[in-house]
Amino acid sequence: MAGNSFGQLFRITTFGESHGGAVGCVIDGCPPGISITEAEIQKELDRRKPGQSKITTPRKEADTIKILSGYFEGKTTGTPILLIAYNADVKSEDYLELKEAYRPSHADFTYEAKYGFRDWRGSGRASARETLARVAAGAIAQKYLKEKLGIEILSYIDQVGDIKAAVDFETVTPEAIESNIIRCPDQAAAEKMIALVEKVKSEGDSVGGVIQGVIRNVPPGLGEPVFDKLSADLGKGMLSINAVKGFEIGSGFAGVSGRGSEHNDPLEVRDGKIRTTKNDAGGTYGGISSGETIHFRVAFKPVSTIAKEQDTVTRDKRPTKLSAAGRHDPCVLPRAVPIVDAMSALVVMDHHLRHKAQNG
C-alpha cells in the first residue's frame, strides 16, 4: 500500500499535487443521510487556504470544493464520495532552482531516494496542499459527530517560538480562537506572536510552535486494544501532517517529573456517571476514551523553505547555496489549526463506526 489512505471504516484516500491539476479525496464508508453542503465544507477550507492574512503565504487559491459523487439532494448516499478542488494560482517557474538543488530538511532528497525522481514544482505530493483534502473530508466527519453525538472538536495556537499562551482548554470557544489572524485565544499572547511572525518573515526565515487539540463530549469506550489505541491513532494522524515533529497527549512529557500518586486521575461518580476529578491522562485509559475531554499538543517545526541563503547540494552531489523563491508561510500554525481539527474528526469518526460495528 502506498500510504495515501487513512482510516478503516471511515476511510479517505487523497490525491493530487501542489502544482498539478487538482487536489482531492475519496471517502469510503461514510454513513448515508448526513446533511452537508459544499458551503459547509468550504467554510473549513477557507480557514486553511493560502493568502488569508498578512502572515500566510500570498498564493491565491480559492480552494473551491466540489462534491462529485456519493451525494444526492443535500445528503450523503452511503456510496464513495469524491471531493475535488482545482488548482488555479500555479507558478511553477518559481521552483526552477529546486529542479537540481535539494532544500535542507525538506522532502526533496528523500522523495527522490524513494521514487528515483520527483515533482519539484511546489513539492508535488510532499506539499502541505495535500491537506486540503483532509480538511474537506474532516468537515463531513465533524458535522456527523457534532449532530449525532454532540462531540465538539477544536484546536488553537498554544505557542509560537518562545511565546506561550495562557488558555484553559476546557473553556476555550471557537469564537475566541477565530478572533485574530493567528488563531490564539489569548489576545495579549496573540499580538506578540503576530509581531514575531512578521519579524521572521521580514528576515526571510520561518518559526514553529505548538497547537493544542481539544475533543469534547467523547463517549467512553472508543478505541481498540493494543495497536489501534485511540491515542495511538490520534498520534499517527497528527504526525502525518506536514512539518509536525512531536505529539503528546494529556500531561505528555511533563508527566515524567511527578509520581504515580500525583499523576493518577482519581475516580468519582458525578451526575450518575463515572468521572475523574482531573484529567492528566488526556481523556483515554489504555488507549480507550474515558468520557473526559481529550486534549493533546502537536509540535510544528519551522518550515524548511525559506528565503535565507543555506548550504545544500545538487542532484549530482555538488555543494551549492540555495535561497528558495516561491510563496511560502513564515509560520504554518494558523493554517494548520483546521488540519488538526480535521485529523481529530477523522480518527474519532473511524473509531465511532468501529465501535458501532462491534457493539451495535
Which of left, alpha, beta for 213 (phi over 0: left; psi -120 to 50: alpha)? beta
Q: What is the rounded distance in angstroms from the CA atom of residue 336 to the CA atom of residue 300?
A: 9
Backbone CA torsion sign across 236, 238, 242, 244: negative
> What stretches of the chain show up as alpha helix (H) in DSSP?
38-48, 108-115, 131-149, 174-177, 187-202, 230-239, 260-263, 333-359
Q: How confident is the model at residue 327, as a pLDDT?
A: 67
Contact 298, 213 (CB under 8 A): yes
Which DSSP state fits 314? B
What CATH code would you report for 5-359?
3.60.150.10
Cell of 184: 490564539
Q: How confident is the model at residue 353, as a pLDDT?
A: 98
Q: What is the rounded distance in angstroms from the CA atom of residue 358 to the CA atom of residue 1?
A: 26
Question: Which tens digit of pLDDT belongs to each residue from 125-169?
Answer: 888 899 999 999 999 999 999 999 999 999 999 999 999 999 999
Cell of 12: 479517505
Residues of the chain with pLDDT under 70: 1, 58-59, 89-96, 326-327
Question: Which tens digit of pLDDT belongs to each residue from 30-46?
Answer: 999 999 999 999 999 99
Prediction pTM value: 0.95
Q: How confident is the model at residue 120, as a pLDDT?
A: 80
Cell of 341: 481539527
Q: How confident is the model at residue 96, as a pLDDT?
A: 65
Question: Where do the structural domains in the chain lie, given as residue ranges?
Answer: 5-359
Question: Quick check: helix, strand or coil at residue 336?
Answer: helix
Amino acid at 338: P
Q: How confident is the model at residue 282, as a pLDDT?
A: 98
Contact 354, 8 (CB under 8 A): yes
Contact 223, 350 (CB under 8 A): no
Question: Which tens digit of pLDDT belongs to each residue from 61-93?
Answer: 788 999 999 999 999 999 999 999 998 865 656
Q: How confident is the model at residue 18, as a pLDDT?
A: 82
Q: How confident is the model at residue 170, as a pLDDT?
A: 96
